[in-house]
Structures are given as structure tokens and as C-alpha cells.
Structure 1
Amino acid sequence: MPTFQTSPGMRDILPPESGRWRAFQLVFAELVESAGYGQLITPLIEDVGVFTRIGEATDVVTKELYAFEDRGGRHVSLRPEMTASVCRAFAQHRPIAPWKVWYAGPNFRQEKAQRGRYRQFDQVGIEALGVDDAHLDVEVIALGWEFYQRIGLRQVRLIVNSLGEPDDRARYVEALGAHFEVAGDALSEQSRETLQKNPLRVLDSKRERDRAVIDAAPQIADFYSAEAADHFDTVLDGLRSLDIPFDVEPKLVRGLDYYRRTIFEFQGGTLESAQNALGGGGRYDGLVEALGGPATAGIGFALGLDRTLLACDDEGVFAATTRELDAFVVDVTGGAAAVAITAELRAAGLAADRSFDQRSMKAQMKLANRSGAAHAIILGDDELAAGTLTVKPMHGNGEQVTIPRTDLIDHLQRNEP
């Protein structure tokens, strides 16, 4: 047993899986940058106050923050999500609106680790600040939907809802609270505890005991103002115009308290229902203001990398791949020539590797075969004296040939597998 191992809920991502992570982010970047979003990179550590604004009644704040005091006496936290960091950056730097950014990277929450859920977890996402327009909601949702299409997922369900304006939400929360209070012991003990913090959170319960009470709860749509109803109708009409399938889910509330009006979630059809959220987001008008900035509209989403890749595995899409080597250099003349040949191959855009430690011809050929390279480039004393190289195809029925060393690049490019 090694002396040191990763902490609970943390893990190493080894190749080739790490290459799939990078490809995931590249596909996302290409998509959203084509829509005008630029990359924002924020610190892993923020003042803890940045995150208490996301909802002091949420588990993210009350139970899961990696919060501590640094050596300067500052109360800080590893970021548990990125939207609050983006809004802090907007409040601090005051960029010209509309400000459209994307991000990728790890977040940290001290929660129970389980399949597709870790204490360090990566997300990609976008945020658009400074625009109060329902058509932007449509653009944001459509980009998330298109990303899942691009990586090959087909069993994705989009659910949407609206939490209305702040006054609408306040009246709804009051009605929910009254409904759940009347239910009393019909609710699970956990939901009765949640009720005291935020009645909306009770709607998130997946416990069988709570189902009947939740099903009988008031509907948020009954509390919409005319403005909120019009905004939501515009979003739904926009999704229909793009032929994006969706379901309106009145009980969708999302996990953070800063949302208002449009909220949405992408669910994986192959995952267990209790842990099937691949990502989601919504509007959070007011969060920038809460962080010391001007009153600013905002909307965005975050997509979970880990759980999305689990869904890809289930559907047999977006598999991990490695770049195959074009050549493996086998040099039994001391190794100095291998340095020059390998560098020449790489400079020409070919993928090349070599052996080290002056191993025997037999040992180097085993490494060449194990590497999966298309060709072995063999340099022995005879080749070195004659200024030639022996090229041995490692797959198929190609014939081994001896060529002038100066012809190596041209030969490989003409004989690509």
C-alpha cells in the first residue's frame, strides 16, 4: 500500500482519460466561442462572502464549503461553483456589457462521494451578463443543448421552469410553506428540516414518503406576474422555433438560491433518476448587485464533466482516444542519432517516440510494438555508416525498406496508414 493516496472524493485522471477531458473542453470552447463567448479564468480561492451570497439556506454553504482562514487572517473558500466567481469578476472589473464569458475547471464541495459525484469536480459553462432579454435565455439553453448533440449524446432530456419575479417567488414560497406545514408528519424528517430553511428546497426531495405531499403542492405558474409569464412564454416559443424538445417541470427549482425567472436542467436518460442531472442553470438577476456591483441581469449554465462522461459511456459515444504514433525510433548506435531523428520527425508534425537507456535491438522493438506506432525507424551501425535508415511498417502487410536518411519525412508522409 503506498504511503500517500488521494483524499476522499478526489482522484487522479490518467491518460487516455485525461485526453478525453481535454477534448471535452475543446469541443465546448469551439461551440461557445463561435457564439461570442470569451474564456474567463478565475481563482480557485475566493473570499468566503462571495459564496455565502448564493444562498445561506443551501447545503453548498452550510455543509459543503471548503472554508478556512489563510495566513493573512482572511476567511476564504475553495470555490464550490463558478457563477458567483464570474459575478464577482464583473463587479470588480466592470467590463462593458453585454459580457459573455465561458469557463472550465474544478470546483470543490465536501459532500458524500458517489458515482459521478466527487468532492473535486470539473465543469464547463457560460455566463452572459448585462442583458435582460428572454431571447438570450433561448440562446444560452440552445448552446447547452447543441453541446450535448456535438458529443453524441441522444438520451438527454431538457426540463425548464420559471421562478417568476422576486415578488412572485416570495408569494409562492409563503404558499408552499403553509402547504408543507399543514402536511406535518406526512413529510420525511429531512424535508421538515429543509422546510425551516427554504420551502422551495422541499420540492427537490426524491424520497417516496414526500411524493404525495409534493405532488399536491401549489404550482409556481399560479403566482406569475404578467411580466414573468410573458418572459417565460417568449423562452418557450424560442425553444420551439429551434426545434429543441423540452418539458415544463413546475417542481424544478435548482440547487442554489440566486435563481429567478428562467431555470433549466439537462438530464441524462441513462443515469439513475436521483443523480441524473448533467448540468443546468438559469437567470440570476441581482447576484452581481449582491456582490457589490451595479444592478445587472445575468444568465448562464454549468455542465458537469464527470456525469456527462458517464452518460457518454452508457451511450457508447465520445470515447477516450490517444494520438497514435507515426514512428518509433530504434537506435542501437548509442542513442545520439535517435535524438536528432526524433526531433526531425516532431518538427515535421509527426508523432514520434524513442527508447532510452541504450537497450538492445530486441528490447527496443518490443517497445516499438507496444507503442502502437505505425512505423519503426531502425538505425544500426550499417545504416549509420551508409547514411540510411530502415523503415519497418508495424501494421498490415507493408514491406520493410531501407531509404536514404534525407528521404525519411517524405517517405512517412507518403505512406501514412
Structure 2
Amino acid sequence: MSLKGPRGTQDILPGEVEKWQFVESVLSDVCRRYNYKEVRTPIFEHTELFQRGVGDTTDIVQKEMYTFEDRGGRSLTLRPEGTASVVRSFVQNKVYGLPNQPTKYYYFGPMFRYERPQQGRMRQFVQFGIEALGSDDPAIDAEVIALAMNSYQELGLQSLKLVLNSLGDQESREEHRKALISHFDPYREELCEDCQVRLDQNPMRVLDCKKDKDHPAMSTAPSILEYLNDYSRTYFENVKSYLDKMGIPYTIDPNLVRGLDYYNHTAFEIMSESEGFGAITTLSGGGRYNGLVEEIGGPETSGIGFAMSIERLLMALEAEGVTLPLEEKLDCYIVALGEEAEKEAAGVVYQLRKAGIQVDKDYAGKKVKAQFKSADRLQAKYVLVLGENELANGQINVKRMATGDQETIALADVVEYMKKEFKGEQS
């Protein structure tokens, strides 16, 4: 029987995983500059966390969660997104009581959603996200958006579009909710089954429906921007003014809604406009979620964040033809000739590795010619040759592969010699 990985999962092999490592290192450095600290949360949580934090009316909770019962009869769920877990950690560990606020976190990690696998959308996928908790200042909304844009630009993406909207506060949303129900109710029977339920539970999410997006009622639906009260309108104007000061262009889309129940005020998505990226252009999305901390049992605390799929980020880089500056060459390869030289080579390899030098050798009993071929395939910068004659004389031969220059040095000096060689390369 041949076993394969579950549908919607993937193996990331050497040759590809280096791209992930590079991207993650760049994103981590951007977060460092913005003073966001990494947080790591469990891969599974109590199901109630997502029911309360993400929302019972969302497709994620109703259709896409991987939920199971453990041996103690507790309902647990593989996390479908990162925000609820980060907020739960913030509350459980009483981070809101620390003097330095707002709390600014970033995270990486696998998420799990049961949906039809397609390019860039897997059942297990990796998200990078940030959360800023404890500030009602519209400037931090702009900061979060700037960090998202900066992250993509730092990696070389240029064909980006920032789409912005305000979902308003609770009062504004309630007025808009009434207007949406009044508008869509005459067309109720023409809407899909999901939207018929949404119309009663969360009518704003009707605007986000993929099945009914071409229904004539969508284009004439009342805009949330028409129902913003003075506070919400001023808040949104301030967010836009900060983005203007930063020189970050944006497009207002009054129909932009986020798929999770906890969003209010600022909502945004970043899209790829690169040709060949695909029909689904969204790279990332986020927004403000005042009320989520209280829903999970903490004090009244506002928050804002976003999340991006690493898979879709890599797709966008490929679509724009961005080549990542990956170092694929091996530092050193040791060719050993003879049984005693093999043993001595093992000690040299160990000492070089302790000195911080990347080195490898043959472990398959290959002949000398085949060992040199292995060094070529690994693109070794240096090949060190240790044969019986070199061993007898306490020497080792060093070959610089880029120039073909060779030099014989004392075996006892090889570690210091190679350290100086690589120091010279880096200077």
C-alpha cells in the first residue's frame, strides 16, 4: 500500500524550503523595525474559542473547521486563523496589565481549513500575521497597513493594490444592518441558501458572497459609508490622512467586508495586480476588531491586525518574476582518499562545522572521481583533498573552485585558514 499525504497538504522540500526561510527572515526583520515581537500559540484550541472569537455565522466556523473530541470528551479544533489564539493568549497571560502598551505581536504558523484545495489555497497553509492590542489611535491602523505593504515591497513585489473600507462602530453597523435587510429582503428567494441565512444573522456578509456577486441587487445595496456616524466617519478620515502622509496609495471599496464577525471600523485588503497571478487576487486582509478581547474574557481592549498566506506570497513573487537572493552554494567539500584519511576527514569536518563553516563529505564509499562530481553538484566553493600522502606529511590540499587555484597547508592550520578565507569573502 502506497501512502500519500492528505489532500490539501504539501511537502516543502530542500530547494523550495529555502525560499520560505528567506521570506520568513525578511518578514521577521520588518516586524523588528516596527517593534513587533513574536508570539507562538498552540496549533489546537478549545472549539469555543473560535465559535466566540471568529463567529458562529462565518463559513469558517460553520463549514471549514477541523474539530475533534479528545479522550476527555473535550471539543478541540485545529486553528483556522491566528487572531483568536493570539487574543486568547493576551487575555490568559494578563498581558494587558503590563506597562508598555499597546502590545504588538507577530506570528508564523500552520492554519487548517476544510475547503476545496486549489492553487494557493491549501487545507493546511501557513500564515504570517500581526496584532496590535490596546490602542484606539487611528495612527496604529495606518501603521499596521504600512507594515503589510512594507512587507510585500521589501520582498520585491510592485504590482500591489490596497483596498480600504470602514465597517463603522456598533451604532453605524446596526443602522446599516437594517438598511441591508430592507434592501435584500425582496430578493430573499433569489439568493443562495447561505445568504438567506446571512440576511438574518449577519447581512453585511451577503455583500461578500461569491455565488451571488453578480446579482443585480448587489450593485444597488446601501453602502456602509452612508451610515457612518460622526465618530466613525472622523476615525476613517484620520486613518486615510495618516496613509496620505506616508505616501501609501489606496482605493476605497464600500463593499469590502471581512469574513470574520469580529471586525469593525478599518477593514483592508492587499491585492496583486500582476498578470498571471490568478483569478483570486487577494494576498492579505485585516482590520480593527474592537470587542474581541472582551468576548474572550478580557477587559475592554481594542485591536487591529492582518494575516497573509505565505503560499500566496510565493505565488505573487513568481508571477512578478522576482528572484530571491538565495545562497545555494556549499562552503566546503572534503574529498578523502583511503581508510585512514577518511577517519581523519571526519575530525576535520567536525572542527570546521564547530567554527561555523558549512561543510560536507562523502558517506557512500564513492571513488575519488565521484566525490569530485558530488562537490561540483553541491557547488562547493572550496574542495579540501586529504589523501595518504597529505596525511603522512600532516598536510591538506585546498582548491578554490572559482579560480582553480590550489594550495597545500598544514592540516593543523586548516580551520584557522578556512575561517580567514571566508572572512575575506564577507569583507
TM normalised by structure 1 equals 0.94
Q: Is the 8 A contact 2:207 2:213 kept in 1?
A: no
Report what 1:116 is aligned to.
120
Residues 26-175 of structure 1: pairs in structure 2 closer than 5 A: 26-53=25-52, 54-95=54-95, 96=98, 97-175=101-179
Q: Does 1:230 align with 2:228?
A: no
Which of 402, 407, 419 is the matching residue for 1:401?
407
Cα distance in structure 2, aligned partners of 1:197 and 1:274 = 29
Query: Is the CA contact (8 Å cut-off) linking 2:277 and 2:315 kept in structure 1?
Result: no
Residues 1:332 and 2:331 aligned together? no
For residues 153-189 of structure 1, give each alpha carbon's deviation from its aligned partner in whole angstroms, at most 9, with x where no partner exists.
1011111111001121122122112212223455456
Name the aligned partner's letter for residue 46 of structure 2.
Answer: D
The answer (yes or no) to whether the contact 2:223–2:254 under 8 Å persists in 1 is yes
What residue ranges of structure 1 are gaps of 5+ in the alignment?
A: none
User: Paired residue for 2:353?
Assistant: 346
SS of alignment partner, residue 203 of structure 1? helix
Give yes or no for contact 1:188–1:210 (8 Å, CA) kept in 2: no
CA change 1:402–1:135 in 2 (3 A) is: same
Q: Shift in Å at residue 209 of structure 1?
A: 6.3
Q: Which amino acid aligns with 2:68?
A: F
After superposition, the C-alpha distances for 1:298-357 in whole angstroms (9 at most, x for unaligned) are 111111111011000111225373442121001123221111211232233322111114
Letter in 2 for 1:338: A
Q: Contact conserved, 1:377 with 1:392, CA < 8 A, in 2? A: yes
1:281-302 alpha-carbon deviations (Å, 9 max, x no partner): 1111101101111111111111
Q: Provide the residue aligned with 1:377 in structure 2.
A: 384
SS in 2 for 1:389: strand
Q: 2:321 aligns with which of 316, 323, 326?
A: 316
Match in the other structure for 1:287: 292
Identity score, percent: 41
Asked whether the 8 Å contact 2:103–2:132 carries over to 1, the reply is yes
Q: Does the 8 A contact of 2:79 with 2:111 survive in 1?
A: yes
Determine the C-alpha separation between the residues in 1 that align with 2:393 and 2:24. Answer: 48
Shift of 1:195: 3.4
How far residue 273 of structure 1 moved from its aligned partner, in angstroms, is 6.5
Per mean C-alpha deviation after superposition, the further-off stretch among 184-193 and 335-344 is 184-193
Deviates more, 1:107-116 or 1:400-409: 400-409
Contact 1:187–1:209 (CA<8 Å) still a contact in 2? no
Q: How far does residue 371 in structure 1 lie from its aligned partner after superposition? A: 1.2
Q: Deviations for 1:30-60, whole angstroms, at most 9, x for unmatched residues?
A: 1112222111110011110100021111110
- State the one-letter code of the partner of 1:24: V
Q: TM-score, normalised by structure 2?
A: 0.92
Please report the RMSD computed on the Cα atoms of aligned residues, expressed in angstroms.
2.0
> Which sits farther off after the overlay, 134-143 or 89-98?
89-98
For residues 186-224 of structure 1, give each alpha carbon's deviation from its aligned partner in whole angstroms, at most 9, with x where no partner exists.
545664454354322221234576253211110111100
Counterparts of 2:421 and 2:47, CA distance in 1 = 59
Matches within 5 A, 1:168-207: 168-184=172-188, 187=191, 191-192=195-196, 194-207=198-211
Q: Say if 1:103 and 1:125, in contact at 8 Å, map to a contact too.
A: yes
In the comparison of the two structures, how many residue pairs are matched?
Answer: 415
Report the counterpart of residue 2 of structure 2 in structure 1. 3
User: Do 1:124 and 1:304's aligned partners in 2 also have CA atoms closer than 8 Å?
Assistant: yes
CA contact (8 A) 1:20 1:320 kept: no
Say yes or no: does 1:303 pair with 2:308: yes
List structure 1 segments (4+ residues) > 6 angstroms apart after TM superposition: none
For the 8 Å contact 1:328–1:373, the answer to whether it is kept is yes
1:100 shift after superposition: 1.2
| Aligned residues of 1:16 and 1:320 also touching (Cα < 8 A) | no
Provide closer, same or farther for how the CA distance between residues 333 and 273 of structure 1 changes in structure 2, counting only shifts above 3 A: closer
Which structure 2 segments of 5+ residues have no match?
none
Q: Contact 2:277 / 2:319 at 8 angstroms: preserved in 1?
A: no
SS in 1 for 2:64: coil
Counterpart residue identity of residue 202, structure 1 = V
Comparing 374-383 with 26-35, greater Cα deviation is found at: 26-35
User: How many angstroms apart in 1 are the aligned matches of 2:189 and 2:324?
Assistant: 48
Choose 192-201 or 132-141, whichever is displaced more.
192-201
Counterparts of 1:136 and 1:194, CA distance in 2: 31
Quick check: 2:394–2:411 contact (8 Å CA) kept in 1? yes
How has the CA–CA distance of structure 1 residues 15 and 202 changed in structure 2, closer, same or farther, with 3 Å as cutoff?
A: same
